[in-house]
Amino acid sequence: MKTVLILCGGRSEEHEISLISAKGILDALDRKVYTPLLIGISKKGIWHLEQENSFYIGEFRADKIKLNEKTPTVTLAPFSNEKKQGTLLCEEKGYNFDIVFPILHGRFGEDGTLQGMLDMIGVPYVGSNCGSSWLCMDKVLTKILCLREGIPTAKFTWVESVEGLTKVQSELSQLKYPLFVKPPRQGSSVGVSKVNSPKELKTAVETALKYDNKCLIEEGIKGREIECAVLGRHGQAKVATPGEIIPSKKIGWYSFEAKYLLAEGAETKVPTDLDSQTTEAIKAFALKAFDCLECSGMARVDLFLEETTNQLYLNEINTIPGFTPISMYPKMWQASGLSYSELISELLRLA
């Protein structure tokens, strides 16, 4: 039996989504092979030793759920033992673990900081390494690197302050409205605004800068929003049957509310109804982006299929995608013949 350290919660604005993902993993973990060790990280960054049946409080939805913080705190030992296991220290007792499944979305979990710490300790973990995680987390760097490799993205610019808008007027004049204004190192559409005219731009930049110290401004792509689940090691990965996000006409785009709070915020379609040639082109596109950023383990590659030209544009790469049983990443693999439980086991094997 191997002990899997499951890390959930965290300091990012996606804290609650992480708790829901962790619950799904716990329910589907193969207990004949793996024993879970569950750690909930509070929004203040404190690590708590949790019990499966009580690690969250409240309703199981993003705006109602809370981490149970009335549990013992733990410290991660800054070394591994002779068996290459990591160790958690709690009330003078040590808890060893063999593998880490970091289901921490956003900052301090998906951005390479945690991965770098685990590399120093010397224990295996699910997902991409420190450098790849950092690059994928930053949508500006992702775009720059992918464009150099011939992977198209929407036209964009970025600023580090509202005052910086005056310095990028030339770039802004090349962008067609509507624009999407984003904190580039956030996920789940946190801090994202759809801007339909220049007079709305300043407020949108101010909103994005509440969540990051720079702001991405990109041209909206009119077309279909396609998602791809990639699984495997760098250079040897495979892509599942693609899925599609269809936002409700009332909202018009895939906002945080559409993703997590509104019952009819968006429709997800797995598999898509695309022809085989387009599907294969999408899968090849996703794999190229995955390899360009040197991802490993898993990633969800999001892209746009432009409605008039069928041109593909990269949107973003998520190295720790949502992992509830109804999240797009596991649903796409289920449509490809790999069950939720089998997917978790494969990710742990790859780690």
Q: Which of 75, 121, 129 is nearest to 98 (CA)?
A: 121
Catalytic, out of 13, 98, 227, 302 = 302
Angle between helices 139-148 and 130-137 (to 10 degrees): 100
Of residues 318, 327, 329, 340, which has the active-site annotation? 318
- Cα 217 to chain centroid, rounded: 20
Is 300 assigned a catalytic role?
yes
DSSP β-bridge partners for residue 230: 239, 299
Alpha helices in the chain (DSSP H): 15-28, 113-121, 130-137, 139-148, 169-172, 201-208, 256-260, 276-292, 328-335, 340-350
Give catalytic status of residue 322 as yes or no.
yes
Q: Please pick, among 56, 211, 260, 340, the residue that the annotation labels catalytic.
A: 260
C-alpha 21/C-alpha 221 separation (Å) is 29
Contact 170, 206 (CB under 8 A): no
Tokens coding 276 = 């085989």
DSSP 214-278: SEEEEE---EEEEEEEEEESTTS-EEPPPEEEEE-TTT-S--HHHHHT-TTSEEEESS----HHH
Active-site pick, 129, 316, 327, 340: 316
Is 260 an annotated catalytic residue?
A: yes
Q: At residue 280, what is the residue type?
A: E
Asked if 318 is an active-site residue, the reply is: yes
Give how far Cα 348 sits from Cα of 81, 182, 250, 262, 323, Å. Answer: 20, 32, 40, 33, 14
Task: State the DSSP H helix or E strand holding residue 313, giving kind and residue range, or none if neither.
Answer: strand 312-318
Tally the C-alpha atoms within 13 A of residue 62's C-alpha that lie toward its C-beta. Answer: 18
Q: Which of 12, 133, 188, 327 is catalytic?
A: 188
From the list 50, 322, 327, 340, the catalytic residue is 322
- One of 9, 12, 13, 14 is an active-site residue; which one? 14
Question: Which residue among the candidates 110, 185, 300, 313 is catalytic per the annotation?
Answer: 300
Which residues fall within 8 angstroms of residue 349, CB to CB, at 6 or more apart? none
Residues labelled as active-site residues: 14, 188, 260, 300, 302, 316, 318, 322
